[in-house]
Structure formats: C-alpha cells, structure tokens
A and B are shown apart, each in its own frame.
Chain A
Amino acid sequence: MKKREFVKNCLMGAGVITACPALLHGSPSRHVKERNYRLALFQEESAKGIMCRICPNECVLKEGELSECRNRIVRNGKLYTMAYGNPCAINLDPVEKKPLYHFMPSTITFSIATAGCNLACLNCQNWTISQTSPDKTRNSDLMPGSVISNAHNYQCKSISYTYSEPITFYEYVFDSATLARQSGLRNILVSNGYINTEPLLKLSSVIDAANIDLKSFNDKTYIKLTGGKLEPVLETLKILKEEQVWLEITNLVVPEWTDKMDEIREMCKWLYSNGFSDTPLHFSRFTPMYKLEQLPPTPVSILNRAWEIAREEGINHVYIGNVPGTHACDTFCDKCGEKVVERRGYTITANNIENGRCKFCNSVISGVWE
C-alpha cells in the first residue's frame, strides 16, 4: 500500500469514527431562546476582550467565547447572560434544607437554578447542571414575574436562588429578587460566595438571607477541591454581614480533604475574630459524590469533634447537617444556655423564642424568626 493510499484510508476511517460522537450525543441540543439573553451587568471592555467583573475569575472573552461559568457569552462585542428566565431546576424545599436554621423557620421556599457555576468542585452534588451550559439543559420558561407568581401559588414565603451557582445567573436573580421584595416575598441566596465586591453590594440590596459555602480554610485545598480561592469567599462573608443580609455558613467536611481539626479550629477562630460568633455555622456530612466516589462518608465522630471545636472557639450556633437524628440541630440561648428551639428534622418541635428573644432570659437570639 502506498503512502497516499494509506493517508486516504486513514481519513476515511477517521470520518467513520468521528460520526460516532453523533451516536453518543443522541439527544437533541437545547437552544437558548433569544429572550433568555440579557445584556450582562458588570462588563468592561479591555484590550484583550470583554471582561466579566461579576466574579473573581474575571473572564476576558472574545467574540463568541463562553465564560468559565458557561452561561455568559460575547455577541456583537457585548457580554450577554444566557441564563435569564430559563431555570432548569425548580423545586420546593423546607428552608432548613438550604440550610437556614435562623431564617423564617418551618417555611417552604421556592427554589430555582439555571445551569452554570464559576467553580468546579470535585464533590458537586449538582454537577449535572453546574458543570454545563443552559443550552444543554432542559429549561423551563419562567421569567421573573412567573417566578413570583409560582412562589405565591405554592404558598412559599421565600425564593431561593440555589443548587448550581446564583452568582452566574446574577441578572435573573437580581430582577426576580427585586420583584419578589415588592410582592412581599423574601430572597435567599445559596452560594459559594465567589463574587466580586461591587456586584455583591448591589445584590445585597435585594437579598434577605444567604447561606455561603465556606468549603475549606486552606487556600491550596480550595484550589484543588473547587478551582477557586479562599480569600474572595471570606470577603463575601464580611460584606454580607456589613450589608445586614442574614447569613449562615456551611462547611462540608470531606474526609481527607477538609476534615483536619487544626484547619477547622483556625476557621472558627477567624469567624469569631471577624464578628461571626452569632452567625450559625453548619458542619455538613459528605457522602461520595461526582468525582469523589472513592471516599467514605464523613464519620459522625468527626462532625461532633468539629462541633465541639466551634463551640470552644466561641461560635454560638453550631449545627450538624445531613445526619438524621443528630443532637446538634437545636438552638440554645447564648446567654442563659437554655434550649430555645428544639428541632427534629426540618420541623420545630418546641419554640421558646418570642419576638426574636429568649423566653427564659429575654436575650436577643440572632436570626429572622418571622
């Protein structure tokens, strides 16, 4: 066989084989409709392209390029969000599941998410939407007005922007939250906190509560586990507190990754010294997920130890999540030590808070209770 024949045969073979992806990609691709495109906020022109200033990734994009979060694209020299009014996940959740234990307890929240995330956590439980783009997911047509009406229809007291990463569908969150405020609904942001200051300040004006994932207190671990950095998240916590958004923090304790007690102690010390002693801290149990499948679930003994450390370091409200039947789900008055809220699961079985104060000693219990 001559060389020319060989090349020809190889090309033919390659042609046949490259047809295979079409077989593997069997399902039709989703097209984001024109109405789901909105001019993105916080964009800047730079010599290298259009810069997105929403999050610390600060993607610089050229015409047709997609952002790292996969839902921002440059068209005709402008940055657009592709995730406006097209959530792929819509659910009803108890607010305690977010988790928020000090914010409108025992209410149901209307939860929405679009595809996309600015991090790439190895253990993401929502990786099927966070690690993809809105044009590859099945989306509902739900413009901000419809979000509000649906939340009312299901008798929800709040709307949660959650699951994937609401920072990446910022414009949709902002418009929905503005309308929700006007109609008497509260807004909850469940986020990785990986956002720049200016967008966060704007968003804080319409957000009532936030649960921020503080995934580790070690910058190297942060990069390896999530692809992001620790510092911007800490900054987010400070800003949310300053802006008086009700804040709760979640720390997922992943065996071998984020379960070192000295790091947990360091994190708690930082929280205490930066004025977060009254901010509820949730230690959440890890179960094997996404790419981290060859790990055991977090032993409950480790979570208990983390709980003790947080209490020792002066954090007043510490909880353990993803462990049914745990003792660490009740709220105690940080002044008199009495149990002010007794919980079982997502249900409050005894409530000793009146007008936001402890029934026993009349001290203020931090939170938004009604």
Chain B
Amino acid sequence: MYHVILIGIVFLILYFLTLTASKFRIITVRGHRAFWNTILLITFLTAASAGIFLALQSNYKWEIQSVEKILSWHVEAGIAMSFTAFLHLTWNLGYYIRIITGGGEKNSVPVNYGVSKELFFNYRIMLLILGFISGAVQVIFLREILNLSGGYEIATGAVFAFWIIISAFGARMAGKSKNTNLVSLTAVLPLGSIISLVIFIVLSKVMIEEGLTPGIIYTLIITGLSLIPFCFLSGFLFVRLSFCASRETQLLPGDSFALETTGSMIAGIIVTIVTGNILGNFQILAAAIILYYIVYLIAGRFRYYRILTGIAALCLVAVIIFKPDTFVRNILLGSVKVTRSIDSKYGNVAISEYEGSGSVFYNHRLIDYEQDEKQTEENIHYAMLQSEAPEEILIISGGADKHIGEVLKYPSVKSISYLERDPVLIACTRDTSINYTSAEVVFENDDAFSYIRGSSKKYDVIISLLAEPENIVTNRFYTREYFQAIKRIMSKGGIFMLKAGGSGTYLSDEETGSLSAIYNSLVGVFSNILPIKGESLYLISSDSMLNANIPDLVADRGIETTYVNSYYLSRQIIKFNSDQVVSIIDSLMPGNMLDKPRAVFYRQKHQLKKAGRYRIPFIAAICVLLLIPFLTGNNSSRTMYSAALNLAGTELLALILIQSTAGNFYQLAGLLIAVVMAGLAIGSASEIKISPWLIEMIPVMLGFLAIIFALVSPLILEIQSGTIPVILSLLIVIIPAVLAGSYYRRKTGEELSSKIISGIYFADMCGAALGFMIIAGILVPLFGIKSTFFILAFFNFASYITNRVISGIGNLVQ
C-alpha cells in the first residue's frame, strides 16, 4: 500500500508552513523556494535512480535483493515528486502562461522587507503574554497528546522533547533572521495554536484508525507536524522580541527571559486553577487566545482597539457559555458519542455511549462500561471470599456502585469506604438515588497514599483497583512502602488484593519483570501471596492462609454471582494458573520501591513493544538530535545545556519525592512548577553583580548540589509527615533554577546579538528536553532517585571539565 494521502498531507502542511514563514519574513522567499527546489531534486533523484534499477532488473533479470523495497521507494518518491511539482507549478504558473502566450519574461523585483515597526510595542507586556499563551497552549497540548499516546513517561519525555526541539529551531532561525515584522507575527501567534490544533485533529483522524492507540512513532509524527506552527513561531518570536527589546529599550535578554517565564508561570497557575470542573481544556485554550488578543489590542493601541477589545470580550463570554469541549472530544474520540466531557484536576472524563450502551473514558482510556459483571465480580469476590466474616471494607478506585453492590452481598459487612482521588469519577460511577441501608457506605475523596497514611481505621479487606503501574504516578501504589502502609491499617489476618497487570496466556519478559518487582515487594510485607488469573492478574496477600478453591468458597458462602462460581471457574485450572504464575516470578528481582520504581520501567517497555521494531532507533535518534547543541555548541551553550538538563532532572526527582511522601502529586505539581519558574525568573532578572569566574563555576556548584540532594533524598523519603518533605523538595529545585536563570542572564547579556541569544536559548531547551526524557524514562526506573542525582552531578562536572579542556586546547593553539 502506497502512502498517497499521507505524503500529500505532509507535503501540503510543510508547504503551507514554509510559505507562511516566508510571508512573515521568518525565512526569505528565496529560502522557501530553495527548500522546495531541493525537495524536488531529492525526490526526482530517488525516483529516477530507483526507476533505473528497476528497469535494469527487468531487462537483465538481475537478482537485486529487496526489489520490492526499491519499487516502493520509486513509487513513494514519485508521489512526493508529483506533489512538489504541483506546488512548483503554482508559484511559476505565470511564467508558464507567459511562455505559452508569448508574453515575455517579467523583470524580477527585489523583495522589500521594510523597516521594523515594533518600536511602539510595549515589549514587557508582549513578552509576558507570549509566555502566557505559550504556557497555556503547552499545558493543553501536552494533555491532549498524552491522551492520544497513553501517557507513559518515555512517551511523555519524547513528546516534550519534540515540543522543545521545534521551539528551539524557531529560536535558532530567529538568530539568523534580521528583519521581522513583529507586529504581524505577534498578531498571528495565537492563530498558530489554532492551526496546530486543527492539524492535530486532522492527522489524528487521517493517520490513526478508529479506536487505535498509536505507537510512539506515529504519536511523534502527529505531534511534530501539529506543533510546528505554534512552537516554531513562539520560539522564533521570543528570540526576536528579546533581541529587539534589548536593542531598542535596553531590556536585557535575561529580563526578557524572566518576563516570558513569569507569563508561563501565570498561565500554569491559572490553567491549574480553572481546570477542575470549571473550564474544559479547549475552553481554556480559546479563553487564553482571546485574553492574549485583548492584551495585545490594548498594548498596541491600534485603531478601533476599544471596539475590537469589546468584541473579543464578547467572544470570551461566548466561549464560557457555549462549551466547545464536548464537540471537540467527539471528534477526537470518534468511535463513541461523547455526551459530556469534564476536565477535572486529574484528567479528562468523557461520558459516552455507543449504540445505547454507556461507557466512561478517562484520558481516552476506557475505565467503566455497562454489563461488565465478569470483571466486577472478580474485582471483589476473590478477595472477599478469603475472609471468614469481613466487616470493614476499603475499596480503592475502580468504580463506585457496581463494586459496592457486590460487597453488600456479604451479610457480615458493616461498613464500606470507597476511596477515589477524582470526585468527577465518583460522580460518574455513582447513582445518587441509591440509598445503601444494609451497611454504612462512605465516599472518600483523597489520594490513596495520603488516605492510608492518615487513616486510623482498621479494615478486614482492602481492594485496590487502581490503574496499573504504567507511570511514576501510579507506580507508587505498587511499592513496598505502600504495602507497608496498607498493612498498618489492616485488621489481624486481613486481606489485601491488587491488580498487577495483564493476565494473558503468556506473560512477556516485561510483564514478568513488572510482576516480579511487585510480587517481591509484597513478599517482604505479607506471609502469603496468592496469584489468581482472571481478566486481570490479581495478587491476594495476607498473613492468614489463602485458598485458591474459589468455586467451593463461593458455594459454601452462598453468594449469588453471575461469573465467579463453579459454572465458569474450576479449582484445578485456578491452581494450575496460580502455580504457573509463581513459577515465573524472578525471586532475585529487587522489589518495587518509591525511590526505585522498577515496575514502571518494565511496564513502559511492555507498552513500547507495541510500537514495533523501530521504536528504539527512533528514540535514540531524538536523543542524538537533542545532544547536538551540547556536542557542537560553545562553552556557554554547553554550560547552559547542562544547567537546563540538571534543572529538568532535579524538577522530576523533586516531583517523585513529593508524590512519594506527601502523596498528593497533582495539586503540588503546579506549586513545584511555579517554584521552578519563579527561581528561573529570579535568576534571570537579578542584577546582582557576579564575577565571571563564579559564573563559569555554576556547573560545579550544580554538581555539588546534586551530590547533596543525593545524600538528602533517602532522608526525605523516610519522613512520614507531608509538609516537611514538600518544603525540602521545593528547596531542592529553587537553587538550581536560580543558578540556571542567572547563567542565562549573564551569558546573553555579554554581547547583544540575536545569534547568541538564540544559541543559548536553543541549548537551554534541548538540555531540558533530554533531561525530562532520559531521567523519567530510563535513569530513575533503572537506578533510583539517589543514583540519578549522582549521575546528574557527574554530568555537571563533565560539562565543566569539557569546557576547561576545550578552552585549554584553544589557548594552546593560539
């Protein structure tokens, strides 16, 4: 199958982007044409040479290996060439018409780039709102892209890396650009976000089959193409604004950076506040765009700006009244009819139906649906049947009414606590007209870790139906620390059950790795563990004896069930499967811990396997791309790069520390990001004179700080109280942020050149992207928090030494 539509769309989008860039003088018209002429040449040469090979092969019956591949290249390049030729024709149409009509050749007129009109700008406000719109769009897009891809860390890191690479290239191009119409460019920036959104939606529908979760490669292709308009423009604009502001108003690039960062911080805080049943994702995006224009109109004092501002304000009201989210969500989740879309503090909840049957999607993943007796009964009865007369029951997540209904089949039950972090999920899975009378039913809104650490109640049965450990957030519910906290609130001989992943006929190495890490963590806490293979793999743990004879247990207790009974289940098969699971456990695998989240590493590997064989080279290629500024930059870029990587890494490690101790990751994540931004803003705006020698020593300072954090991190994890670890974690990030900001200010202030600003900004972004990607996806899961801090320290020292060596060689040569 040849990719006619895909190539067509990609080429048209690219053409549109280079054309727009040339219109706005980001690149020259000549550059735009040179780019497409080069594409035309490459596609022509590929198609032609492949064609010659095929002709020779056909004529002389040559045995050319993989002739199908050559044919494929021939055709695909031909398709690409056809599209390019068509585009070529559009801009030279007049020329061909003149040849046909004999009209003669028109004298070429030099392009007039004009004089910059940006003097009237209030640069400070523009930088602030640039930061604001970038911050808001980034949060919204990141959420949607993660919904598309599944949201695990390596994908998150890769998506974020892509985001930054495009922005960085925008910044780099700005360094080469001399004349830019900033008035027009700042006016169209928000439109870039709308174009990005449209491209995202169109590509999601064209490239991905209905219901399909794309692999990481497709996710990145969609991400890359859809983010180009906005990210490129925002990176470009920042550097141009920063340069023009420093040239015309003596605003130092460091101050510009501080302003932009402050704008992002404000956006982050506002988006965090309004997300949570107040505004939907796409409402926020629309509102941010309109707010941008309101500020832009007022700051620019354009003609009729009062009227235009009034119209924009009316649009804002309209967006708030007429919610666009359900409409957009319906397009994105095309396979079902979304009747309601709610963006809670924790994720998107889409209530939907398909042919009259209701289902609930959480971040585009199915979490609840009608008529799922099989899983509902398994979720409850395997654990409940192990307890003689259970009275106090705790159910953690998984859906309210349906599970509570199953628990209430046990007459001994006196009280049920249903714990769910997201109140929207409780509302979606609960029928408020049901009045539970046979037992006390309490609904708790809290993070499971926080609740368990703070609870003084004892439970006979605790059933954890939380999401699998596919990211660091959910991993903590599968750690030894969590199991120890669970045991503390269990009555003597109590039962604890969790779902430990898939239960296919064969567990892959990755699934086995994850299972072994979880199982071995349980072994250290409970005396007996019984695996039961059902729709999921259930691990039942207790200090009492456990019984795999489920059919007899359910019959003896007289519980009425549809699926968990002797009609479907056989003692012999359950026993066979349980023994098989135990036999594949790797007893040497270290347990899953808060500071060494091994389970998540294996789960992510398992997910990545779905992406096919090119996943690893693809991720490696991104890492190499991100390393380029470090390898090719000057000393300043290299130091900025390592400072940014260090900061991104420290930020992630602090996040993990917070979620491991305080438990409340989502709410405190916003605070942490605000602290990082504030640190950057302080550092980049600070006018304190620092000697150049001290500035060059920043990597060394960062290295020593990382060593201190490595030594302190185990102590933080041991503190059970929530407040102190949070304060310590916030302190951990603020110092590297201030140092990174200071370095940016000093280096960009040394010489006023947009090339220098863009080079350092580019290095900053690439370093941050690589930091997010490798630390979250590889280093922490493999080596743990403490060792990762040491690796960061090593990287900082290496950066310093490399700079010294290169400087030394430079001096010798001179």
Taking Cβ atoms with an 8 Å cutoff, the residues of A that contact B are: 1, 6, 9-10, 12-14, 16-18, 20-21, 23-27, 47-48, 62, 88-94, 108, 111, 113, 122, 125-129, 137-138, 154, 163, 224, 255-257, 259, 288, 290-297, 299-302, 322-325, 344-347, 349
Contact = CB atoms under 8 A, between A and B. Distances in A.
18 contacts: A20-B778, A89-B505, A91-B580, A122-B212, A126-B504, A137-B508, A154-B576, A255-B211, A255-B335, A259-B355, A291-B212, A293-B213, A294-B335, A296-B369, A297-B372, A301-B355, A301-B357, A345-B563
B357 A300 contact: yes
Contacts of B630: 13
A296 B366 contact: yes
Given A297-B366, A345-B567, 6 more contacts: A1-B632, A10-B632, A126-B505, A255-B355, A299-B371, A300-B357
A224 B580 CA distance: 35
B782 interface: yes
B210 A295 contact: yes
Most buried by A among B512, B567, B577: B567
A21 B567 contact: no
A14 to B, nearest CB: 5
A96 to B, nearest CB: 9
Interface of B: 63, 65, 150, 209-213, 215, 333, 335-336, 352, 354-357, 359, 361, 364-366, 369-374, 504-513, 562-563, 565-568, 570, 572-573, 576-577, 580, 584, 605, 608-610, 616-617, 619-620, 623-624, 627-628, 630-632, 634, 778, 782
B365 A20 contact: no
Nearest to B620: A17
Contacts of B359: 296-297
Nearest to A87: B506
Contacts of B372: 297
Given A27-B513, A94-B570, A296-B359, A13 B610 contact: no
Most buried by A among B356, B510, B576: B576
A83 to B, nearest CB: 13
A191 to B, nearest CB: 15
Contact of B562 (A25, A91, A129, A325): A325
A292 B354 contact: no
Contacts of A90: 580
A23 B782 contact: yes
A17 B623 CA distance: 7
Contacts of B212: 122, 291-294
Contacts of B608: 24
B504 A128 contact: yes
A24 B352 CA distance: 37
Contacts of A27: 509-510, 513
Contact of B584 (A93, A127, A138, A302): A138
A293 B631 contact: no
A108 B573 contact: yes
A89 to B, nearest CB: 4
A160 B355 CA distance: 36
Nearest to A27: B509
A15 to B, nearest CB: 10
B210 A346 contact: no
A24 B356 contact: no
B149 to A, nearest CB: 11
Contacts of A16: 627
Contacts of B620: 14, 17-18, 20-21
A104 B369 CA distance: 34
Nearest to B619: A20
Contacts of A295: 210-211, 335-336, 366
B213 A291 contact: yes
Contacts of A127: 610
Nearest to B507: A128
Given A138-B509, A325-B563, A256 B631 contact: no
A324 B506 contact: no
Contacts of A288: 211, 365-366
Contact of B373 (A108, A290, A325): A325
Contacts of A255: 211, 335, 354-355
B352 A296 contact: yes
Nearest to B623: A17
A293 B355 contact: no
A137 B374 CA distance: 29
Contact of A347 (B354, B567, B577): B567
A296 B354 CA distance: 7
Contacts of B215: 291
Nearest to B333: A294
A111 to B, nearest CB: 8
Contact of B366 (A25, A128, A293): A293
Contacts of A125: 504
Nearest to A124: B504
B568 A324 contact: yes
A98 to B, nearest CB: 12
Given A17-B623, A62-B65, A302-B355, A10 B628 contact: yes
A91 B211 contact: no
Contacts of A10: 624, 628, 631-632
A324 B562 contact: yes
A85 to B, nearest CB: 17
B632 A290 contact: no
Given A20-B623, A294-B365, A91 B505 contact: yes
Nearest to B570: A94
B97 to A, nearest CB: 42
B764 to A, nearest CB: 18
A122 B210 contact: no
Contacts of A296: 335-336, 352, 354, 357, 359, 366, 369
Given A10-B628, A294-B333, A296-B354, A256 B210 contact: yes
A155 to B, nearest CB: 9
A14 B565 CA distance: 57
A346 B563 CA distance: 10
Q: Which 3 pairs of residues, A with B, have the shortest CB-CB distance?
A: A299-B357, A345-B567, A295-B211
A163 B506 contact: yes
A274 B617 CA distance: 49
B506 A294 contact: no
Contacts of A259: 355
Contacts of A14: 620, 624
A90 B365 CA distance: 31
Given A13-B627, A128-B511, A294 B211 contact: yes
A290 B610 CA distance: 8
A101 B510 CA distance: 35
A13 B336 CA distance: 46
A125 B535 CA distance: 11
